[in-house]
Structure 1
Amino acid sequence: MAEDTNDDENVELNLHNTGELLRRAREQKNLSLEDIAKKTRIPHRHLASIESGDFDALPGRTYAIGFAKSYARTVGLSDASIGSQLRTEMDEQGHGAYQAESSGYAPANPSSIPPLYLAWTAAGIGVLVLVGYLIWRTLILNPDDITPVTESETAAPMESAAANPGPQNVQDSVAAPSGTGTVVLTATEPVWMKIYDAEGKRLFENEMAAGDTFTVPADADNPQILTGRPAALTVTIDGQAVPQLGTGELTIKDVGVSAAALLAREKTSTPAADISPD
């Protein structure tokens, strides 16, 4: 009888474990970890670490909580409750809110890495382009090919320019980014990010490999970003680069990524705000 009582107590304790709650909910829906990984696009090994409570194997506190919330939504649990419970467990185990984020976790899908032959092909094309440019530049700058221009030949163009003034330089002729322009986020190395609107509705949440891009929906209501590695993202508006969202390995959240918000931040020289590990 005493042994049965101990078993009941162990089951009761496990019910308070976040990983156990997620695992039981998954099994009730007859889902495997592979099924959850496919639905959430979270690496299988991270899901297994969450279930077992092995927080040291996860890339960081922010990622662990974000992964657990996505897992919870997939199996029909409250993501807010799971996130709160996981924070408490991590605090109890010494994984505090200001624990440094890991900066080197690998891409979720190794198949997304370009094959070696593509890299060599790109390098060969680059060499050919460089050689062609050097040959063209040599021909253009060869003094023997330069024909002197007389004063009479320059008079007409100068008069035409005076009558029809144009852009002073190339930069003046390029239109400035618009507050309604298209914003594109490009990963320069593996990085996880979440994009959400003013109501907290998730627009995107995933780990991006180097070269992956995400176009912010033009009709999104005040789209904002959460990421632990802002320096791994480049931002453009209609193809024109704007300052990075942040530097170093500090997590940023609630930073606007609409064209209007990015241009306003650039004009006021305000750094990416609300830096927080959660």
Structure 2
Amino acid sequence: MAEQPELETGAAVPDVQSSTPGAKLRAAREAQGLSMQDVATRTRIAQRQLEAIERDDYSALPGIPYAVGFARAYARAVGLDEVEIAADVRNAVHGSQLGANRYESFEPADPARVPSRVLAWTAAAIVIILVAGFTIWRTQFLTPPTGQEIAAHQAKPAAAPKPAAGVRAAAPVVQTVVFTANDDVWLRIYDEAGERLKDGLMKKGESFTLPANARNPMILTGRPQALTVSVGGKPVAPLGAPDRTISDVPVSAAALLARAAPAAVSPTTPSAAQTHPAQPVTGSVAPAVPAAAPAPGSPPATE
């Protein structure tokens, strides 16, 4: 039998592990003088997972997609062909325990590019709000109105028509109050602040027009029958009994219009001024009390 040639002492034994994905990645990292922490910073992958990639210990990773994704990111960080490394990792894990228990069939995106959890939850909340808003709008828009809603809409009063452009609204009519003396008479007209609007003697035939801006005007006079008062050109009832002093009597247009219209005076009926002498009274107006008629058969009263 031929003798087997002996191996030369000191001959280099080929490294069977140098062709694994983890060995290639480690060699590239060391060639660039990078530490494992440097690669973890570049890829944003935990250092323990990168160490598992270098050891080709894929069972220490969550699953095949993560093993492939982490290896690609590692290859890109150290300048290797990530597509080739990814293919090597797939071939290596298919026969391992991880490949027998794989539960996903897709590869995750680059961990450095995966959105954060806050961003993912924010996007989910926006989608939920949009869906809920569309559902509510569709329900309100497509649901026909009920009979009550139709009746309530029909019961609404029609809006008052707006004046045409360029047409000015009619200004409120101001009722003018005019005092005319039918005999010489002294009077004082004043407002609520005590300001005198008219004070003194009015000659027969003289007129005085109350200012439109007078605030709660009032009158003081001892001969109301000597004044004829009109509002808007229409006479109003006398301000008081003849020859009876009146004071604090409102003479605004509204107050005068609230009084009764003057009664027609018969030409044959004597006036109160002729039957009763003037009796000055101070303060508020005292109503005139007619004298009692004498009892039948009694003698007439003597002065």
> Structure 1 length normalisation: TM-score?
0.38
Give the number of the structure whose residues are more often helix, by fraction. 1
**Greater relative contact order (Cα < 8 A, sep 6+):** 1
> Structure 2 length normalisation: TM-score?
0.35
